Structures are given as structure tokens and as C-alpha cells.
Chain A
Amino acid sequence: MATPAIKGPKRGVSIYSYSGEWGVTMNLEDCFKDIYDMGATGVEILANGHIDNYPQPTNEWMDNWFRLCTKYNITPVEYGHWVTSRLYRGIMELNTEESLRMLKQDIILAHRLGFTVLRTKLGVIDWILTPVRNWREIILGALDLAERYNVCMCPEIHQPTALSSKMVADYVEFIDKYQTKNFGLNIDFGTFQNVWSKDRPPIPGVPEDGSPCSYPHELRALLPYIHACHAKFNNMSEDFQETTIPYPEIIKEFVDGGWDGYFLSEYEGPHKDEPGFVSEQLKRQHVMMKRILGY
């Protein structure tokens, strides 16, 4: 089955969703089979989680990777990796040089595996996820390499970070200043969560009155900067509704804005290690997305 050339939001899955079964009841091929069943065509892997012998995978592992992508018609979309800033005891922010060493290694490996977007997780320094103070130097130092290898480094905008925050404004300002195609944003839909459990303890940075961190309409101005999304979800009901995040409104913004890219499912609810549970949640979510998108 050839991938239909859709311009617009496409469906994919992050292997993160299968964390509870990974290595115990599922391997990489099991995950790909499951994704194929959903008619999804993209995947996110976590470098530090899903690549055997990372950061130096064997040729055998690489061959198997490409075999699976071909067999199950899956596009490598997003490569999740970390710039581990608290790498050593007593150090809060790793120096720029060593951060760059780590980042460059991942840019090259991501490219070798066929990925075009990197979910570049920067270290944070406080409870509301303010990134390390040398993030500009780190990203600037890697822009040339990212351009050469045709990948875009994207920090994840994740609850409690709001789309209207200074953090997002700073990233956008950086992209505009350097006119770069190699640094952008990944939006995690958890920032739109507007239903919470009754006894939720306060989460630093999340409004206490139950309102969401961000609203879907705030996506509009940011669409040109967004290269992939984490289709975060917590609970899919049996009638295919996400009960905590307003998916119809979110997807409408992407469609109306003519956005082209992948929604990568990230299941964040309970029962992750119950065999089959997450697969069922994912399939429910993909029924929902398919209905909303109309394809």
C-alpha cells in the first residue's frame, strides 16, 4: 500500500506510548505492526530508549530499522533525544561544548535513520520548565550541522508551558532572528488539557482554576514554526472521544491553517503495562482523528 500524498495533518505514533510493554511484551516490530493496523504512517522513536546500543547502533540494527519502515510503510518522522544538562553530580547546566557534542551526535544519527525532525529536549532549571540559560549558544552552535543533515531541532512545548509564554516568544524570536529552517517547535497537546481529576494537586505553572495552559486559537500565529506535534492523550472513551483535551478544536486550527506535518500519538494515561491496553487506547484515538480529519 503506497502512502497517499496528503498535504495536511498526518497520523503517526510515538513508540513512547508503548513504554510499559517495551522489552517485556512488545518489541519494535510489534509496535510497527500495531501502528500499521491504525493506518498511521509516521513514527517517533526515543533515541535513548529504542535504539539498541545507542549512540552506536550496529549495522544489523540499522538494517532491521529500514526493513521495518519499508515493510510497514512507516516514515521516520521525529527522533526524540535529550541534551542532558544535569549530566554530572553537582552540575545544573552542562557547558555549551559538551552539550553540543551530545546534540551533534544525535543530529547525525537521526539523519542516518531517515528522520527530519528532532524533538530536542533541553534541560530545565526550575519547576515551570525554563530551559538552561545557554540554550541559545547550544542551538546556534548546531544550526550549520542541522542544515547540512536536513533536520529541524524542535523543543517540545509541554504543559505547563503556555503557547502565550515568554519561553515560546523567545524561541520564535530566535527563529526569526536567524531565519532558520533548522529550529522550530513541537507542540504537545497536553498544553490544551481542560478537564482534570477532582483531587488534582497543584501543578507548578498550570492555572489553578482548572482552565487550560493554552487555547487552540493561539496556534494560528505559531503554525509556520511548528514541525511536528505530540498528540498527547490521557483517556479515550469507548465512543472515541478524548475526555480531557479538546481535539476537534485543536485539529481544526491545523486544518484551517493549511498546516502540513505529523501528529504523533503519545498516550499518557494509566495501565501502560497492561498488555494490549495502550494499543486499544491508540486505536480509539486514531478512529477519532480519522473522523475529524476525514481521511
Chain B
Amino acid sequence: MLERQNIQTRGFHNVYDEDGNAIGFQLCFRSTYYKGVWLSQVRVGDLIVDGEVFSREDQTWIINDVEYTPDEMEKLGTIHWHILDVATIVVKKPGGLSQGYHDVTVNFGTVSSYGPARFAPQPKDKSEWDKPFPIEVFSMLAVREYHNRMIIV
């Protein structure tokens, strides 16, 4: 079963190379939207651990056992991320994370097509309401912050 919150506590640990050296960490993340999305609808922002920022270039996302960069995902309009599947986010960090509590923030969003841009500011000028959306509205506006505080053992 899934944990209710987006950032799952299950699956949070350091990752190691063949020699046993910690080379980074991973965590599991789920979308709490009511439906799955095509990978090209996924928008990824910074991942932050205790104030240390890992940009989208520092992350890979494993969905259905395949590892993608956020840029790669945005080009894939025929691969579906099911709502009940968690993504494993892998971050490179030599030495990994230290033992103990960590404050983790994931910036994530999805672009939808069937309504006004999610979270986009509604134009105050009503004459804008029946004008086509400016396309830039959809770049990163869908992204929101998700938090959890979790333990590395």
C-alpha cells in the first residue's frame, strides 16, 4: 500500500557503489493527483535536503523500473506513470546523507490540459477569461513543494 503523503518514508536510504561506498541517496515519491500522467506532463524542480539544493540536473527518476532524467521524461508522451506507482528519485552525493533526521523537499508538478492551468493565477481582468492561455503559463507553474522529515539509519 501507499503512504498517504507524497514523499514516502519507505525507500529512503543511501545508495552504494560495488565497493560499498555511499555515492548518493534515494527516496520514493508518489503523485497524489487523482490520475496518472504521461511522463511528458511531469515537471521536476529542485530537491532540497537540510538546505542543500539538488537541481533537476542532479536527479534521476525511476518509474516502472526505467531510469530517466527530468529532461528525458518531458519528451515521452506515450509512457504512462500510473497513480499507484511510486517513483524512485536518485540523487548523486558522494558520501551520501548522514545518519539521523533529514528535512526533505521535493518540487514536483504535472501539466494538465482539461482545465485552467493548475495553480496559475487567475487573471483579474475578466476580458482575459475567454482569450487563449499564454503558453508560458504552463512551463513550471504546476510545480509545488512537498515535504517530509525522515531518518537515515
Contacts and interface: CB of A to CB of B under 8 A. Distances in A.
B129 A23 contact: no
Contacts of A113: none
Counting chain B CB atoms within 10 Å of each CB, the highest count among A49, A201, A273 belongs to: A49
B129 A124 contact: no
Given A19-B34, A48-B37, A204-B126, A90 B135 contact: yes
Contact of A128 (B82, B113, B129): B129
Nearest to A83: B113
A273 B5 CA distance: 11
B40 A87 contact: yes
A126 B130 contact: yes
A55 B80 contact: yes
A124 B36 contact: no
A88 B75 contact: yes
Interface string B79-109: 0101110000000000000000000000000
B40 A23 contact: no
Given A22-B83, A98-B77, A125 B37 contact: no
A127 B35 contact: no
A54 B80 CA distance: 7
Contacts of B83: 22-23, 48-49
Counting chain B CB atoms within 10 Å of each CB, the highest count among A23, A54, A204, A273 belongs to: A23
B113 A123 contact: yes
A86 B132 contact: no
Counting chain B CB atoms within 10 Å of each CB, the highest count among A54, A87, A127, A130 belongs to: A127
Interface string A256-279: 000000000000000001000000
A203 B75 CA distance: 33
Contacts of B82: 52-54
Given A24-B1, A87-B77, A49 B34 contact: yes
A112 interface: no
Contacts of A48: 35-37, 80, 83
A240 B38 CA distance: 39
Interface residues of B, number: 36
B139 A127 contact: no
A84 B113 CA distance: 6
Contacts of A25: 1
Interface stretch (B17-25, B47-55, B115-123, B143-151): B115-123
Given A23-B84, A24-B3, A54 B113 contact: no
Contact of A124 (B37, B115, B139): B115
B111 to A, nearest CB: 5
A89 B139 CA distance: 7
Interface in A48-105: 48-49, 52-55, 82-92, 98
Given A24-B4, A125-B133, A54 B116 contact: no
B114 A82 contact: yes
A4 B92 CA distance: 61
A7 B32 CA distance: 38
B9 to A, nearest CB: 14
B2 interface: yes
Nearest to B132: A125
A129 B77 CA distance: 23
Given A53-B82, A90-B135, A126-B129, A16 B34 contact: yes
A123 B34 contact: no
B138 interface: yes
A89 B1 contact: no
B128 to A, nearest CB: 7
Given A23-B1, A127-B130, A204-B126, A49 B35 contact: yes
Contact of B138 (A16, A86, A201): A86
B34 to A, nearest CB: 4
7 contacts: A24-B1, A92-B133, A124-B115, A127-B116, A127-B133, A129-B115, A204-B129
Interface of B: 1-4, 34-38, 40-41, 74-75, 77, 80, 82-84, 111-116, 122-123, 126, 128-133, 135, 138-139
The 3 closest A-B pairs by CB, nearest first: A123-B113, A49-B35, A19-B34
